[in-house]
Structure 1
Amino acid sequence: MLEYYGRECWLKLPGCTKVATTKDHINPHTHGGSDRLENFRPACHRCNSKRQERKVGNQVRIITGPPAAGKSTYIKEHAYPNDVVVDLDRIAKALMPDPEDAKLQTYPDHIRHVAIGARQAAISRATRLRENVGIWIIHSVPSPDQLEEYKRMGWQIIPIDPGERVVRDRIANQRSSSMHDVADRWYDKPSSGESSPLIEPSRDWGIA
């Protein structure tokens, strides 16, 4: 395998050592992958351990964007009935005694803490499914390292952003004022004062 493909790690996830010392299954054994040469790629030990058996390719879709941009609506319009959706707000709401208390998408710190753990577990399980279904993960503002990892895994990144004015108005009318902090992270403004989203946004989805 190394003779055929060389010794450069094909995954190149954040923290990659670049020098391949292991063979990585493109399609893991647990997903029906074979031990044939075409199903192997060279990988460094760190990347191989980080990837484990997660899916590679655009079956996994990462939906990014500021609060109230229309991320959930986009998924509702595009997902198939058997697809899996991982959404921190849905998880947190399900953990509340009365989901109506979470209608502004604000949660006590302990609820959010539990929800974040549940979300991570859901992502881990979902991205290792053997079933041929779409995986939709809402991640509003991924860090540069997280974004790079998603790209290297071949996961499709779909930014949703109807524009800052629309987002600010929706937050004011529909969400907690704390969501402005998340919007600030999305609309990262350099010294020039110009808006500079982390990802080039799509403006096709104006529904909250």
Structure 2
Amino acid sequence: MLYVVTGPPAAGKTSWVNEHAQPRDIVIDYDTIAQALAGPGAPTHDHRHTLHLIARSARRAALDEALRHVDRADVYLIHTQPSERSLARYRKHGARIVTLDPGRDVVLERCRTMRTREAARAAERWYADIESPTRETLHPAAAKASRAW
């Protein structure tokens, strides 16, 4: 089964995956990939351009391969704001879309205290997109605090 976990930055996507994925499941998380590729002590959410390009390529390769195996392994993909094209691709593989949203105020406060300004801008873009009349409504998960921030 393919689980696509969406939501704004700091919504608790990684925490949700950590609560649901089993040890032998496949987890594809851009931030985890970038952190693995970065040097010791690198920031967890502030990736420089070169690291971003390499991590994005690694994520794409991991996803392409994982989609070949969703019939044999559970795959958890964290994708903050998938395009309609990406959603269509995921649905072709029988994806369950899980959207986490603890609310704009909570997310922006988490971004302010624990993330970068770019994360707050990305959160604002996420909220603007879901409020768009042309955006398809995803299947939201119950909004709750994901962890003690």
* TM-score under structure 2 length normalisation: 0.87
Q: Structure 1 residues 186 and 130 mapped into 2: Cα distance closer, same or farther (>3 Å)?
A: closer
Distance 2:86 2:71 in 1: 25
Q: Percent identity?
A: 33
* Structure 1 gap ranges (5+): 1-58, 190-194
Tell me the matched-pair count: 143
Deviation at 1:139, TM superposition (A): 0.4
Q: Determine if contact 1:66/1:140 at 8 Å carries over to the other structure.
A: yes
Deviation at 1:171, TM superposition (A): 0.2
Specify which of 58, 81, 89 is matched with residue 141 of structure 1.
81
Structure 2 SS opposite 1:187: helix
Q: Structure 1 residues 129 and 178 mapped into 2: Cα distance closer, same or farther (>3 Å)?
A: same
Q: Determine if contact 1:70/1:206 at 8 Å carries over to the other structure.
A: yes
Deviation at 1:91, TM superposition (A): 0.6
Distance 1:132 1:62 in 2: 17
Write the mapping of 1:4-153 to structure 2, written as runs, cut at 5 A: 59-98=1-40, 100-103=41-44, 105-129=45-69, 132-153=72-93
Q: Determine if contact 2:100/2:142 at 8 Å carries over to the other structure.
A: yes
Deviation at 1:153, TM superposition (A): 3.1
Please identify which structure carries the higher helix content. 2
**Which string of whole-angstrom CA distances, capped at 9 and with x for unpartnered residues, describes residues 6-54 of structure 1?**
xxxxxxxxxxxxxxxxxxxxxxxxxxxxxxxxxxxxxxxxxxxxxxxxx
* TM-score under structure 1 length normalisation: 0.63
- For the aligned residues, what is the CA RMSD? 1.9
Q: Determine if contact 1:60/1:156 at 8 Å carries over to the other structure.
A: yes
The corresponding residue for 1:196 is 131
Distance 2:85 2:64 in 1: 17
Deviation at 1:128, TM superposition (A): 1.2
Q: Structure 1 residues 151 and 121 mapped into 2: Cα distance closer, same or farther (>3 Å)?
A: same
**Larger RCO, structure (CA 8 Å, separation 6 or more):** 2
Structure 2 SS opposite 1:126: helix
Deviation at 1:126, TM superposition (A): 1.3
Q: Determine if contact 1:141/1:185 at 8 Å carries over to the other structure.
A: no
**Which string of whole-angstrom CA distances, capped at 9 and with x for unpartnered residues, describes residues 137-173 of structure 1?**
0000011221233224321110011000000000000
Structure of higher CA gyration radius: 1
